[in-house]
Homo-oligomer: A and B are copies of this chain.
Amino acid sequence: MGTETINIGLIGAGRIGRVHAANLAHRVPGARLAAISDVNLEGARKLAHDFDAPAAVSDARAILEDPAIDAAVICSSTDTHARFIVEAAEAGKHIFCEKPIALDLKTIDTALAAVDQAGVKLQIGFNRRFDANFKAAREMVAAGEIGQPHLVRITSRDPEPPPIPYIKVSGGIFLDMTIHDFDMARYLLQSEVSEVYAAGGVMVDPAIGQAGDIDTAVITLHYENGAIGSIDNSRQAVYGYDQRVEVFGSKGGIIVGNNRPHNAVLSNAGGVQGARPLYFFLERYNDSYIAEMRAFIQSILDDTPPPVTGIDGRLPVVMGLAAWKSYRENRPVRLDEIGD
Contacts and interface: CB of A to CB of B under 8 A. Distances in A.
Interface of A: 25-27, 132-137, 140, 145-146, 148, 150-151, 153, 155, 157, 197, 199-201, 203-204, 216-218, 220, 222, 226-230, 232, 234, 236-240, 242, 248, 250-277, 330-332
B226 A252 contact: no
Nearest to A271: B273
Nearest to A236: B250
Contacts of A252: 238-239, 266-269
A208 B277 CA distance: 41
Contacts of A330: 332
B238 A269 contact: yes
Contacts of A222: 199
B26 A250 contact: no
27 contacts: A26-B27, A132-B262, A135-B262, A136-B261, A145-B266, A145-B268, A146-B266, A148-B203, A150-B234, A157-B248, A199-B220, A199-B228, A201-B228, A218-B230, A220-B230, A232-B248, A236-B250, A237-B267, A239-B267, A239-B268, A239-B272, A240-B267, A242-B253, A252-B266, A256-B264, A269-B276, A272-B273
Nearest to A240: B267
Contacts of A242: 253
A257 B201 CA distance: 27
Contacts of A239: 252-253, 267-269, 271-272
A271 B265 CA distance: 10
Q: Which of A27, A204, A255 has the most CB of B within 10 A?
A: A255
Nearest to A216: B150
A335 B146 CA distance: 36
Nearest to A138: B264
Which label, helix, strand, loop or mixed, suits the secondary structure of the A interface? Answer: mixed
Given A218-B228, A262-B132, A330-B332, A251 B268 contact: yes
A236 B239 CA distance: 31
Contacts of A269: 238-239, 251-252, 276
Q: Which of A140, A262, A332 has the most CB of B within 10 A?
A: A262
Nearest to A29: B50
Q: Which 5 A-B pairs have the closest CB atoms?
A: A252-B268, A26-B26, A239-B267, A136-B264, A136-B262
A226 to B, nearest CB: 5
Nearest to A226: B201
